[in-house]
Structure 1
Amino acid sequence: MEICHGGGEPDASADSSESVSTIVARELAATMGRRPTATTPLAESVDPDAMDELFAASDTELEIAFEHDGYLVRVSEDRVSVSPTE
């Protein structure tokens, strides 16, 4: 899975053994310049378990987008993009 900070070109890739919600939480924290434990819980904006299940069970192209703590998060089967909403 590719990781894009600021919505631009990929600048990292994630370990395929990690859950989608773990990757999203980690990349949100990195974009915010914080530790994952110092950010608003992802569950405030989206159900992390449902997101993990949705991507694990999907056999078609899928993309979701949501706002979390002032950031737009876009998640697809092969990419996570985090950018400020402002």
Structure 2
Amino acid sequence: MVDGSISYALVRKVAAEKGVDPAALTPLHEVIDPDALEAMFDDADGSTLRNGQVTFNYEGFTVEIDHERSVSLTAIHHDG
């Protein structure tokens, strides 16, 4: 993962929320294709995601990344 990438920011944010080292997390590529994720938000060719969002579950959180590259986490609560 490249420092400054969406994937890097996401993993660091989840690790901080959980209070663990990023290396202790499930590898992101087991949940979502990091290259595809980066491509959606890469503006090098002017074809970035202009609106909308990407949402998926990772490490007990619902992760939402919007068109402004903002990463938000919502804890998934399980009843029972």
Q: Is TM (by shorter chain) over 0.5? A: yes
Larger Rg: 2
**1:55, 1:62 within 8 Å by CA — same for their partners in 2?**
no
Identify the residue that residue 74 of structure 1 maps to in structure 2.
64
Which ranges of 4 or more aligned residues in structure 1 deviate by more than 6 Å? none
Identify the residue that residue 20 of structure 1 maps to in structure 2.
6
- In structure 1, the gaps of 5 or more residues are 1-16
Q: Which whole-Å CA distance do the structure 2 matches of 1:59 and 1:75 have between them?
A: 11
What do the CA deviations read for 1:8-42 (whole angstroms, capped 9, x no partner)? Answer: xxxxxxxxx71111111111111111111111111
- In structure 2, the gaps of 5 or more residues are none
Q: Which whole-Å CA distance do the structure 2 matches of 1:62 and 1:43 have between them?
A: 22
1:48 aligns with 2:34: yes
TM-score, with normalisation over the residues of structure 1?
0.73
TM-score, with normalisation over the residues of structure 2?
0.78
1:60-71 paired onto structure 2 within 5 Å: 60-71=50-61
Identify the structure with bigger relative contact order (alpha carbons < 8 Å, sequence gap 6+). Answer: 1
Instruction: Report the CA distance between 1:77 and its aligned residue.
Output: 2.8
**1:66, 1:72 within 8 Å by CA — same for their partners in 2?**
yes
> Aligned-pair RMSD on alpha carbons?
1.5
Higher strand share: 1
